[in-house]
Amino acid sequence: MSLNAEERARTAAELRANLEPAGVGADRVGTELGLVEGQLAEALGVTGADPADVWLLRDHLEDLARAAGREPVPHTVLTEEARAAAERWFPLRKAPHRR
């Protein structure tokens, strides 16, 4: 499963938009996920990142937003239907707060 340029840009915008309702800074998110600065930047920008890191970041930001009582920005590319396809291509990891 790979994304085209428009899908990568849209996903990056949605991930960045979810930092605000999550109520945390990118540095904290990176630390919580065990991503070093370069990995986090790649995942947030969906540029050369390990796809599993992008999904991990997506899930963690959604969990943090909901834990803060906020509604996360919906994902138009990384949907639950896309998750099923992604899982056929590579193993996904659970976000720290994900149940």
Tokens of 50: 């390990």
Tokens of 44: 């947030």
pLDDT score, position 19: 94
What is the tens place of the pLDDT at every residue in 11-36? 999 999 999 999 999 999 999 999 98
Q: What whole-number distance in Å separates Cα of residue 32 and Cα of residue 14?
A: 20
- pTM, two decimals, is 0.89
Contact 46, 54 (CB under 8 A): yes
The residue with tokens 């149940």 is 99
* 3-state secondary structure at position 83: helix
What is the tens place of the pLDDT at every residue in 40-89? 999 999 998 899 999 999 999 999 999 999 999 999 999 999 998 888 88
